[in-house]
């Protein structure tokens, strides 16, 4: 615990002016630390917490951010000994080092069930006046997607500002982009990025909310972009581009910087500002990027999100792009809505035609001069056994080997589009980008600079076998534009983060999936569609894939539901999405996993695929209040002081420890010990709130996992005008002799409440775990 720089103090004290810092000389390089302070210890003599913190310093110290809303404390650039001195102060509850995070990088609204003339768009007036805060790389405000034409006045409750800076003036905000801020102090103070590392690179970045990367412009327009006619990316995906909530207002919080990521201290400051400014929804497509999930009290995204949710702000987050590996889902806090990615019914087919006449299907967004059927020799540099050559890494290719040929490059390590640039520099005429076993058959379209076709692992093996047997092997590449009505769709994207939950498997994550593959949305003018420095093309729109693209779909959906149901809590909005989510594709068959082609499971898609046609009227919701989350934190054995790091306010855990699986979540995960032999049972408690017909009567429908018995009491729920909430018990019984877990180590079923109109469905996951 000490290695994580957490220090929790259990002493009661009377405040005395103990210095936060002692003079230290000849110190190592400073680092940025985030400190959680017991706000109730502030002496009344100080008007603000900032004055209090500043008064304690015995030497000049670089305070970066002061947090007042979602979190009480500050971040500062300190030497290790200064940080240790701060931790000795009795008002400090915890400290953690600043950490760098990564981004989780037209037709999709219709694919979600949204229609112009009826349903959620009309009921919510397209999300009018709901404020969506986007924590990302900023925005390119001139895009048509951010027009304020025919929008009403800025909501009077808005308290935010339009920060100006490099190439961003007050006129860049309007009735659509109602606020914009940027946060860079943590970034500039970080070792390697601060004064020693040079800070922000002004040759590629803007010290303002203006977007130099493109990611933020894309996510903002996905969530809330206006209708933009004749939209396309170099002719691909042509049509009308629009966000999920076209009339929602946007508040932009730039926390990520081109080529250098996003720092926790800046992210937490943006959460703090967004809540103070008055946003209704926060969209954050950012995660750890290292495959490790920190405990909630050491995770500023979880801490900031709790502060927002506790004030009624819905927070949508991306599930990460480390699938299809199990336990790869990120952003696990139960107050976050965690979103995985699925495909839509639109694709950009391309094909490899081999010299022996075989045609292998793939995808591409290449829009340059075609090969026009001309056959070229093909070569696989990885045949030599040199890994860097197989991956087409920088300076790894021998021009004598690849000049005038189509080059096979394996996916991985460096960006997909950068591989094509390496091939081009070495004299290659085209590229075949092959998946490995980890990516399976999951394909992503890219706006390549040279003729390129991406193919799955099986096709890649076939081409490599063809080359090994044919010294004169040849091929050409064909590109077929845009195809709509693709089946099956949705399919769980191979890269989408998967369960089980690595911190608390009692909570199923991801919560649901949404469109995240080949999504068309607005783009910056600062870089070309590949994002490479040498790509000088300009594109008003770009096509990207990732859970970063799925997250803003749910953010926009939350804006629509908030507009239609202003009294719904963040938990109620999430519940409405989860319990109405779809489990079938457009063939009316169970959703499949892109990586394997086999049926997907709740570890892949959570409750299912977002279906806004049904979420407007879910019938029943599973609601949660702040105290429910506190009880959950007590249940996972966080102490009161540790919980206060997250909740701001002091808490008391009950004498009888609650169970984490009894959090009133819209899914049920039953964990049984592998040490238990024979018959074992667990009972779960849930409460539903009627948001449909006042006199609704619901009966339970159970689909028990294979080898598992599920019983529910009562089996019928009768609501009246006076009785809007009812509770029930679920008992799950397993016999170790009959329980056969699948490849993911679990079996799956569901529990639904039905009244003839609504089906309120919750997934059930049953698994075994070894005792600690």
Peptide bond into 490 cis (omega under 30): yes
**Among 38, 136, 272, 585, which one carries the catalytic annotation?**
136
Catalytic residue status for 136: yes
Determine the Cα–Cα distance for residues 513 and 509; give it in Å rounded to an integer: 10
Question: Which of 396, 548, 601, 631 is flagged as catalytic?
Answer: 548
CA distance 181 to 159: 13
**Does residue 250 contact residue 146 with C-beta atoms inside 8 Å?**
yes
574 prior amide bond cis, ω within 30: no
Identify the H or E element spanning 440.
Answer: none
State both tokens at 664.
């009133």
CA distances from 707 to 114, 712, 749 (A): 39, 17, 11
Residue matched to tokens 């074992």 = 680
* Separation of alpha carbons 484 and 471, rounded Å: 39
The β-bridge relationship of strands 31-37 and 92-97 is antiparallel
- CA proximity to 486, closest of 348, 366, 341: 348
Whole-Å CA distances, 41 to 51, 115, 117, 259, 452: 13, 53, 56, 40, 62
Round to whole Å and give the CA distance between 397 and 420: 11
Token reading at 258? 């081109």
The torsion defined by the Cα of 350, 354, 358 and 364, in degrees rounded to 10, comes to -10
Question: What single string gives the DSSP state of each residue in 381-400?
Answer: GGGGS-HHHHTT-TT-S-HH
Q: Specify whether the CB–CB gap between 515 and 549 falls below 8 A.
A: yes
Query: What residue ranges in 419-516 does DSSP mark as E strands?
Result: 430-434, 452-455, 474-479, 483-484, 512-515
Furthest C-alpha separation in the chain: 85
CA gap 637, 11 in Å, rounded:
19
Rounded Cα distance, 38 and 15, in Å: 11
Q: 302 by DSSP, 3-state: which?
A: helix
Burial 692-718 (b: 16+ CB within 10 A, else e): beeebebebeeebbeebebebeeeebe
Nearest by Cα to 570 from 665, 674, 680: 665
Report how far Cα 572 is from the mean position of its chain's Cα atoms. 20
C-alpha distances (whole Å) from 35 to each of 67, 564, 680 are 10, 39, 44
Chain position carrying tokens 């047997």: 469
Active site residue 548: yes
Catalytic positions: 136, 215, 548
């Amino acid at each position: 615990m000490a290695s994580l720089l957490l220090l929790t103090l259990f002493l009661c004290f009377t405040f005395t002016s103990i210095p936060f810092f002692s003079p230290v000389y000849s110190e190592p390089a400073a680092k940025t630390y985030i400190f959680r302070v017991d706000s109730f210890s502030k002496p009344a003599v100080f008007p603000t917490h900032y004055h209090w913190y500043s008064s304690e310093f015995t030497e000049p110290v670089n305070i970066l951010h002061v947090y007042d809303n979602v979190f009480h404390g500050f971040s500062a650039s300190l030497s290790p000994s200064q940080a240790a001195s701060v931790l000795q102060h009795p008002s400090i509850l915890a400290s953690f080092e600043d950490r760098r995070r990564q981004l989780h990088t037209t037709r999709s609204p219709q694919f979600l069930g949204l229609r112009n003339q009826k349903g959620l768009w009309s009921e919510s007036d397209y999300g009018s006046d709901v404020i969506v805060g986007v924590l990302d790389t900023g925005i390119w405000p001139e895009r048509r997607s951010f027009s304020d034409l025919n929008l009403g006045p800025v909501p009077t409750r808005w308290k935010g500002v339009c920060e100006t800076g490099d190439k961003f003036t007050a006129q860049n905000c309007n009735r659509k982009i109602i606020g914009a801020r940027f946060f860079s102090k943590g970034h500039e103070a970080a070792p390697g990025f601060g004064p020693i590392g040079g800070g922000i690179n002004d040759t590629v970045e803007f010290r303002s909310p203006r977007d130099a990367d493109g990611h933020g412009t894309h996510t903002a327009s996905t969530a809330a972009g206006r209708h933009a006619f004749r939209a396309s990316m170099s002719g691909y995906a042509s049509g009308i581009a629009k966000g999920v909530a076209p009339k929602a207002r946007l508040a932009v919080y730039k926390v990520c910087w081109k080529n250098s990521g996003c720092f926790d201290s800046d992210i937490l400051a943006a959460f703090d500002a967004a809540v103070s400014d008055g946003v209704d929804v926060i969209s954050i497509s950012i995660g750890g990027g290292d495959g490790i999930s920190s405990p909630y009290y050491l995770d500023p995204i979880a801490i900031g999100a709790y502060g927002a949710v506790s004030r009624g702000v819905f927070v949508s987050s991306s599930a990460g792009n480390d699938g299809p590996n199990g336990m790869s889902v990120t952003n696990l806090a139960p107050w976050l809505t965690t979103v995985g990615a699925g495909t839509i019914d639109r694709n950009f087919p391309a094909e490899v035609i081999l010299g022996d006449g075989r045609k292998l299907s793939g995808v591409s967004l290449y829009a340059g001069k075609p090969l026009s059927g001309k056959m070229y020799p093909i070569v696989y540099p990885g045949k030599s056994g040199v890994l860097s050559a197989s991956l087409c890494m920088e300076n790894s290719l021998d021009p004598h080997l690849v000049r005038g040929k189509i080059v096979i490059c394996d996916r991985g390590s460096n960006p997909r589009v950068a591989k094509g640039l390496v091939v081009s520099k070495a004299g290659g005429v085209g590229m075949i980008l092959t998946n490995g076993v980890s990516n399976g058959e999951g394909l992503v379209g890219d706006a390549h600079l040279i003729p390129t076709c991406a193919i799955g692992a099986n096709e890649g093996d076939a081409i490599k076998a063809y080359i090994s047997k044919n010294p004169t092997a040849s091929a050409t590449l064909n590109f077929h534009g845009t195809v709509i009505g693709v089946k099956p769709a949705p399919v769980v994207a191979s890269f989408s983060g998967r369960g089980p939950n690595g911190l608390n498997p009692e909570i199923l994550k991801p919560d649901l999936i949404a469109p995240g593959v080949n999504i068309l949305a607005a783009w910056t003018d600062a870089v070309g569609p590949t994002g490479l420095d040498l790509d000088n093309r300009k594109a008003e729109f770009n096509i990207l894939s990732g859970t970063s693209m799925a997250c803003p779909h749910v953010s926009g959906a939350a804006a629509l539901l908030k507009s239609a149901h202003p009294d719904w809590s963040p938990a109620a909005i999430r519940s409405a999405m989860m319990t109405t989510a779809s489990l079938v594709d457009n063939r009316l068959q169970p959703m499949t996993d892109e990586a394997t082609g086999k049926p997907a499971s709740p570890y892949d898609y959570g409750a299912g695929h977002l279906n806004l046609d049904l979420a407007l009227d879910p019938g029943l919701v599973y609601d949660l209040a702040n105290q429910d989350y506190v009880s959950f934190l007590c249940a996972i054995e966080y102490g009161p002081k540790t919980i206060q790091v997250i909740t701001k306010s002091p808490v008391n855990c009950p004498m009888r420890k609650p169970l984490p699986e009894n959090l009133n979540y819209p899914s049920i995960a039953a964990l049984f010990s592998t040490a238990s032999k024979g018959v074992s049972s667990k009972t779960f408690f849930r409460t539903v709130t009627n948001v449909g017909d006042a006199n609704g009567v619901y009966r339970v429908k159970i689909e028990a996992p294979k080898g598992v018995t599920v019983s529910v009491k009562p089996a019928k729920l009768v609501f009246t005008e006076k009785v809007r909430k009812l509770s029930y018990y679920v008992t799950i019984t397993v016999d170790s002799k009959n329980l056969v877990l699948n490849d993911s180590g679990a079996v799956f079923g569901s529990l639904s409440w039905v009244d003839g109109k609504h089906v309120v469905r919750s997934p059930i996951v049953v698994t075994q775990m070894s005792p600690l």
